[in-house]
Chain A
Amino acid sequence: GAVVSQHPSWVICKSGTSVKIECRSLDFQATTMFWYRQFPKQSLMLMATSNEGSKATYEQGVEKDKFLINHASLTLSTLTVTSAHPEDSSFYICSARHSGRAPGELFFGEGSRLTVL
């Protein structure tokens, strides 16, 4: 149990377009999900905390108008990269908190690689 799935795994888009990435908890309800960005051979940088039914909490330096997060249900959070530019190319990873598990035991999606041409 406790599976998190991201879609799409890979996406290539043209500069100026918007891209939506989905994060789903398949077998549990997740009131809180997290979105990270990971550059090659680097650590995960937390972008925002996504809370079901309320606005996301963004980390300092993350543009909320650029990275729109919606957590409309207990099993789905979406990250939309608006007006994407080549510098937005990165690996985006989500994780979900399972209320039935110990604190800090997050379940991660497979990640989504975004390439902006």
Chain B
Amino acid sequence: AQTVTQSQPEMSVQEAETVTLSCTYDTSESNYYLFWYKQPPSRQMILVIRQEAYKQQNATENRFSVNFQKAAKSFSLKISDSQLGDTAMYFCAFMNPFQGAQKLVFGQGTRLTINP
């Protein structure tokens, strides 16, 4: 079974700083998807960024980028020029696209606080 581990329960940075959230996973699959989801205080989860394992290029979405190290099974999220609105729980997630229902396996989450 796949597992996802986020070793940082909480992080806090000042506005405009750069912060990196770590995530490691365990799988025997060679093709899969990795995600970072954000859960703001309002609770509705939204997708931040997606990475396909077969792509070597790291995904980027505006201020959000990932460092995908397939051999090390590491998938960290970097938030540049952090903003107050980035305050949220961040969940790393894994998906095996060949497994029937395409379920997401979530990590434990990292609570990120951006301070003014």
Question: Bound complex: CA of A91 vs CA of B89, how far in Å?
Answer: 15
Query: Which of B11-19, B22-30, B38-46, B64-72 forms contacts with chain A?
Result: B38-46
> A70-96: contact bitstring with B at CB < 8 Å (1 yes, 0 no)?
000000000000000000000101010
* Residue in A closest to B33 when the chains form the complex, CB atoms: A104
> Which residue of the partner chain, among A44, A49, A102, contacts B101 with CB atoms under 8 Å?
A49
Q: Are B106 and A44 in contact (CB under 8 A)?
A: yes
B25 → chain A closest CB, angstroms: 13
| A24: Cβ under 8 A from any B Cβ | no
Across-interface contacts of B46 in A (CB, < 8 A): 108
B90 → chain A closest CB, angstroms: 11
> Size range of the interface on A?
20 to 34
How many residue pairs link A and B with beta carbons under 8 A? The number is 56
B78 → chain A closest CB, angstroms: 20
Question: Bound complex: CA of A112 vs CA of B101, how far in Å?
Answer: 23
Q: Are B104 and A106 in contact (CB under 8 A)?
A: yes
* Residue in A closest to B32 when the chains form the complex, CB atoms: A104
With contacts A44-B106, A46-B103, A57-B101 known, is A102 near B44, CB below 8 A? no
Question: Bound complex: CA of A34 vs CA of B46, how far in Å?
Answer: 15
Across-interface contacts of A32 in B (CB, < 8 A): 101-102
A69 → chain B closest CB, angstroms: 13
| A105: Cβ under 8 A from any B Cβ | yes
Using A43-B109, A104-B104 as known contacts, list a sample of 14 further A-B pairs with CB atoms less than 8 Å apart, ordered by residue number in A. Answer: A32-B101, A34-B103, A43-B106, A46-B105, A49-B103, A51-B101, A57-B101, A91-B43, A93-B45, A105-B35, A108-B44, A108-B45, A108-B46, A110-B42
